[in-house]
A and B are shown apart, each in its own frame.
Chain A
Amino acid sequence: MTTTENARKPSLPIVENFTRRAAVKGGFATLGAAAFVAAVSPLRQAAEDKSAAEFMQQHYTELSPQQKADVIARLEAEAKENYGADVTIADDRPIPGTKFVYAINLSVCNGNGKCVEACHKENNHDRDTNQSYIRVLEMPKGTMDMEKGNTTYTGAVPQDDKFYLPVQCQQCDEPPCVDVCPVKATWKEEDGIVVVDYNWCIGCRYCEAACPYHARRFNWKKPEVPADEVNPDQSYLSNRIRPVGVVEKCTYCLHRTRRGKLPACLEACPTGARVFGNILDKDSNIRWILENKRVYILKEELGTKPAFFYYFD
């Protein structure tokens, strides 16, 4: 191969034998492109599981009633196809004049973990990873330092020298998880519940990093739930089976509580340690407790203003 003399003086050298070189380079480029297509071929399979309608779906708050109905019909069909379960997905909206708060009586909670289990079943969590929105810490008496707690305790409960601290989403009034979300996939509703649009979340897990209460969970894989164990009473913003690759969280069981029922964890609690209600209702039990008991919140110094309270008798 010869190089040209610098007579024509363009600053970049010109290579002769253009066509032969071009052919060789083109050949290698084609080879590279083919290898690339082969390398990323698993993507094709991933794409087959997702419809164009899902890809194009707008944010929950921007869907028209008709679009919402279409989306829900599609999600119900997908549940049938993927899980073999007949489910109903409702679009439960906040009840005006309602602000939900939760309280736990630490004098009574004995760490039996029934709430954890009930949450797991109610919210159609992945059976394989045994996921739940609730974590219970076994704490030595005489400290509030979580450092000294243990989330993986086993054996008989309650232990004499221990107390039990269940932690779940605190539905903060200043939620750091909502602030950090780059796409507004998570927000706080009027009744105080922080929700996630599972069809808008991009799975960056920044909210998971921001949450001081370990309240958020990521779907590291496609959830597995046997057809006969699927809870068919679902809502778009709460316990419908989540897609892979998105973040989810406790919604105070809004598919129950917005229909006048109590959260699953509360119903499952055998000790009566859990109290739930509308703080705006002057006659409610929860209001009486917050006014008359020694109440405190977790990590108050962070300024997250939880709507989740702990109290002692």
Chain B
Amino acid sequence: MSSITTTPQPNEPNGKQSHITSYPKFIGRSLWLATEGSFAFYAWMTMLTALFLVGANAWANQVAGGMIATNMTDQVSWGLYIANFTFMVGLAAGGVMMVIPAYLYHDRKMHDVVIIGELLAIAAIVMCLMFVVADLGRPDRFWHMLPIVGKFNWPISMLTWDVIVLNGYLLLNLHICGYLLYMRFLGRKPNPTWYIPFVMLSIVWAISIHTVTAFLYCGLGGRPFWNTALLAPRFLASAFVSGPAFIIVSMVLIKRLTGVGGLDQPIATLTKIIRVTILINLLMVASELFTEFYTGGSHVSAAKYLFFGLHGKTALVPWTWTAIGLNVTAALLFLWPGLLRLRWRPLLVTACLMAFVGAWIEKGMGLIIPGFVPSTLHEIVEYVPSQLEWKVTVGIWAFGLMVFTVALKTALPTLKHPAEH
């Protein structure tokens, strides 16, 4: 902390002590600010709270009565929770697509709003952790997973790697956002030594969270549908669609609701990124389908189930074709140069939502479930999420949106008056 030389509070004896008192003050002030707002804001937060409470209640019932309340089985042992977890990791990683232009390419405009991506990463990781806990049969034994007090199967289990990279990414982003906003609160210029190295690290780290999450699945030899080297690159490609898509929609809303300026250029940059990544994603999907269907053999059965149904079982077919329809339409819209014109904003938002939902299906129901159908003994047991699973899922999404809203509110003064740094 020796880098701090200018002290706005003259009554503090030295820099070290001032942080001890002023950081809690900053947190308190931020929380206070985050609970200030218009009627619409309170309505929005009340709705999210209500949805979250519904989810919390459903989860408590699941813990009390056992996971029999879900529609998962020994054949399909992971379902909606892990599907959402996988997608949320992507969303968290996708936030980095704002960091790269801002810090690697010194995009000034992006610099001012890069914190939106980082705050999204925080909210998304919190949701990831909640989805994992929701999927545990014994959440009361969560401490077994902690290093030292528990028994951490590192480096062999990919799940322990995931625990490390996800929590590491959360801490990194908490530090970066916390530091930048705190300096802003103190009215000081952020010292690059305290955040630039962490920003650079977070770029590599963002790639790692999605790579490790892909390795969770593609390392399993007994599940041919997942056992492909293309899985991690595919994960990243779709993350770099869904992350920027979510941020574009957020920025359009922020612009409309709060009057924060300077967002049009970042929106354009992200749109250009999606133009590329959405095509790369489609190309990879096509490559995988080619090797599956052209070769045939027993490996193709999961893909057949996904796209056309197998032995008369077709539960996933509507999901798949919806995802393909959304992804292809979104890709076509993004390729149209006129999409960036201000009067076509609603169309841009539509394209983003389509790409977002398309990626959600592709990474979720379209990836996790066919890994289990047919099962390793080639039984075809279908899976459709139960009402309880939907409630828990909606509850976690509501909580994530609450975290994101509160975080954005905290950052609003910074976004409104970007400091030159």
Q: Which residues of A contact B (CB under 8 A)?
A: 9-13, 15, 25, 32, 35-36, 39-43, 45-47, 50, 55, 59, 135, 137, 145-147, 149, 151-152, 167, 176, 179-185, 200-206, 208-214, 216-222, 243-247, 299, 302-304
Verify B68–A220 contact, CB threshold 8 A: yes
CB distance from B368 to the nearest CB of A (A): 9
Provided the pairs A39-B56, A202-B137 are in contact, do residues A183 and B145 lie with their beta carbons within 8 angstroms? yes
| Nearest residue, chain A, Cβ from B417 | A11
CB distance from A178 to the nearest CB of B (A): 8
Verify B60–A209 contact, CB threshold 8 A: no
Provided the pairs A135-B377, A183-B151 are in contact, do residues A11 and B222 lie with their beta carbons within 8 angstroms? no
Partner of B66, one of A13, A25, A43, A220: A220
| Alpha-carbon separation in the docked complex, A233 to B56 (Å) | 40
14 A-B residue contacts at CB 8 Å?
A13-B33, A13-B413, A42-B64, A59-B144, A135-B377, A147-B374, A202-B137, A204-B137, A209-B371, A212-B221, A213-B376, A218-B74, A221-B67, A244-B137
Verify B377–A137 contact, CB threshold 8 A: yes
| Nearest residue, chain A, Cβ from B310 | A147
> Known contacts A42-B65, A220-B72; can you find 6 more A-B pairs with CB under 8 A?
A147-B298, A181-B157, A182-B152, A183-B152, A205-B135, A209-B77
> B78 at interface (Cβ–Cβ under 8 A)?
yes
> B49 at interface (Cβ–Cβ under 8 A)?
yes
CB distance from B131 to the nearest CB of A (A): 12
Q: Please choose the segment from B93-101, B121-129, B158-166 that sits at the chain A interface, where 4 or more of its residues have CB less than 8 A away.
A: B158-166
Give the interface centre of B35, B60, B219, B223 by most chain A CB atoms within 10 Å.
B60
Verify A35–B158 contact, CB threshold 8 A: no
Count of B interface residues, CB-CB < 8 Å: 70
Q: Which residues of A contact B378 (CB under 8 A)?
A: 146-147, 149
Verify B138–A12 contact, CB threshold 8 A: no
Partner of A35, one of B53, B61, B141, B151: B53
Verify B78–A209 contact, CB threshold 8 A: yes
Verify A219–B140 contact, CB threshold 8 A: no
| Alpha-carbon separation in the docked complex, A245 to B65 (Å) | 10
| Alpha-carbon separation in the docked complex, A47 to B63 (Å) | 10
Verify A214–B77 contact, CB threshold 8 A: no
CB distance from A58 to the nearest CB of B (A): 9
Provided the pairs A42-B60, A176-B222, A200-B144 are in contact, do residues A9 and B187 lie with their beta carbons within 8 angstroms? yes
> B57 at interface (Cβ–Cβ under 8 A)?
yes
| Alpha-carbon separation in the docked complex, A14 to B301 (Å) | 62
Verify A210–B222 contact, CB threshold 8 A: yes
Partner of A39, one of B53, B132, B139, B159: B53
> B75 at interface (Cβ–Cβ under 8 A)?
yes
Partner of A211, one of B70, B216, B376: B376
CB distance from B133 to the nearest CB of A (A): 10
CB distance from B336 to the nearest CB of A (A): 41
Residue-wise interface mask of B (389-415) relative to A, using a CB-CB cutoff of 8 A (1 in contact, 0 not): 000000000000000000000000110
Residue-wise interface mask of B (15-30) relative to A, using a CB-CB cutoff of 8 A (1 in contact, 0 not): 0000000000000011
Verify A209–B220 contact, CB threshold 8 A: yes
